């Protein structure tokens, strides 16, 4: 599967982008040059074409982001997760303002990792908590603690290293717990794209990043009662 995705990423970056650009350019040309001839119906068809082009671009970009994680070995450095999270909140500033979300974040630990990858992981998780909501104002609670030995055993973590447990809980739509592992697969979606935008790659990317940091990620949820995503990672990496 990984080899096929890497092959697709190469194909996508070289052979699919240009046709998409042509389709978008020609569609815009038709809209401008033949506006009167196309009429309202024709204009709507052009809009549908451009929407499909944007969706395809989004899928390609997400897949490239996912497969590019395999290109190089991670280069770990000491990180202040508080700073990484502040960058995430800045990235999500518009969505937070738009939804009126309340995000409670405690002081987070210092770890070794790749800042850009952990920023991407946390952006995906916070972005999902802001997206998968009903009418209620999003409330997101972040918690952090050192993993106890008994919990390390339960999670099959045999290393003597100190591990941190960072959880992100929300009051969103949730999902049935039976799908808790399925959602970390590529192109796995539990909701129609017409209801909630996305390509089914974000959580797969999160899992790959957690694996690259010698940690793990898992979810607990109940339909209609929100979700909690847990990231477990060691304080120091074994380079």
Domains contained in the chain, number: 2
Sheet (strand 163-170) strand order? 102-104, 139-146, 163-170, 227-234, 216-221
Task: Name the domain boundary from 43, 68, 93.
Answer: 68
pLDDT of residue 194: 43
pLDDT in tens, 47-102: 888 877 777 777 777 777 777 777 777 788 999 999 999 999 999 999 999 999 99
Q: What is the pLDDT at residue 43?
A: 81
pLDDT band at 14 (very low <50, low <70, confident <90, very high): low
Among 15, 40, 68, give the residue marking a domain's end. 68
Same domain, 6 and 58: yes
Q: Do 59 and 100 fall into the same domain?
A: no
How far is Cα 72 from Cα 112, in angstroms, rounded to an integer? 17
Q: Is the pLDDT of residue 15 over 90?
A: no
Same domain, 137 and 217: yes
Does one domain contain both 56 and 156? no
Q: What is the span of the domain harbouring residue 31?
A: 2-68
Is the pLDDT confidence value at 105 over 70?
Answer: yes
Same-domain status, 63 and 87: no
Q: Which pLDDT tens digit goes with each residue over 137-193?
A: 999 999 999 998 888 888 888 787 899 999 999 998 888 898 888 888 876 655 544
- pLDDT tens digits for 24-38? 888 888 888 887 787
Q: Are residues 87 and 60 in the same domain?
A: no
Chosen domain end from 14, 37, 68: 68
Among candidate residues 107, 112, 189, 101, the one with its CA nearest the CA of residue 145: 107
Residues 19 and 92 both lie in one domain? no
Q: What confidence score (pLDDT) does residue 58 get?
A: 72
Same domain, 111 and 226: yes
Residue 36 in any domain: the answer is: yes
pLDDT class of 18 with cuts at 50, 70, 90: confident
Q: What is the pLDDT of residue 188?
A: 61
Asked, for residue 51, whether it belongs to a domain, the answer is: yes
pLDDT of residue 11: 66
Q: Cβ distance 133 to 99 under 8 Å? A: yes
Residue 1: pLDDT over 70: no
Q: Is residue 166 part of a domain?
A: yes
Pair 138, 208 in one domain: yes
Mean pLDDT is lowest, of 8-12, 70-74, 192-196, for 192-196
| Within-domain flag for 140 | yes
Same domain, yes or no, for 110 and 221? yes
Q: Are strands 110-113 and 77-80 parallel, antiparallel or unpaired?
A: antiparallel
pLDDT score recorded for residue 42: 81
């Amino acid at each position: 599967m990984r080899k096929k995705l890497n092959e697709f990423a190469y194909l996508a970056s070289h052979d699919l982008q240009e046709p998409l650009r042509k389709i978008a350019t020609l569609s815009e040309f038709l809209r401008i040059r033949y506006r009167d001839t196309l009429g309202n119906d024709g204009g709507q068809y052009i809009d549908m074409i451009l929407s499909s082009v944007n969706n395809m671009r989004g899928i390609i970009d997400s897949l490239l982001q996912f497969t590019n994680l395999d290109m190089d070995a991670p280069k770990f450095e000491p990180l202040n997760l508080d700073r990484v999270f502040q960058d995430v909140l800045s990235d999500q500033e518009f969505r937070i303002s738009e939804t009126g979300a309340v995000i409670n974040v405690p002081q987070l630990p210092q770890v070794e990792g790749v800042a850009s990858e952990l920023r991407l992981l946390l952006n995906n998780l916070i972005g999902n908590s802001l997206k998968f909501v009903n009418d209620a104002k999003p409330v997101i609670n972040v918690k952090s603690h050192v993993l106890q030995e008994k919990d390390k055993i339960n999670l099959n973590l045999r290393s003597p290293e100190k591990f941190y447990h960072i959880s992100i809980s929300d009051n969103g739509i949730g999902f049935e717990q039976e799908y808790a592992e399925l959602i970390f697969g590529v192109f796995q979606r539990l909701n129609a794209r017409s209801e909630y935008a996305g390509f089914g790659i974000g959580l797969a990317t999160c899992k790959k990043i957690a694996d690259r940091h010698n940690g793990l990620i898992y979810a607990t949820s109940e339909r209609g009662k929100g979700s909690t995503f847990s990231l477990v990672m060691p304080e120091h990496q074994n380079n």
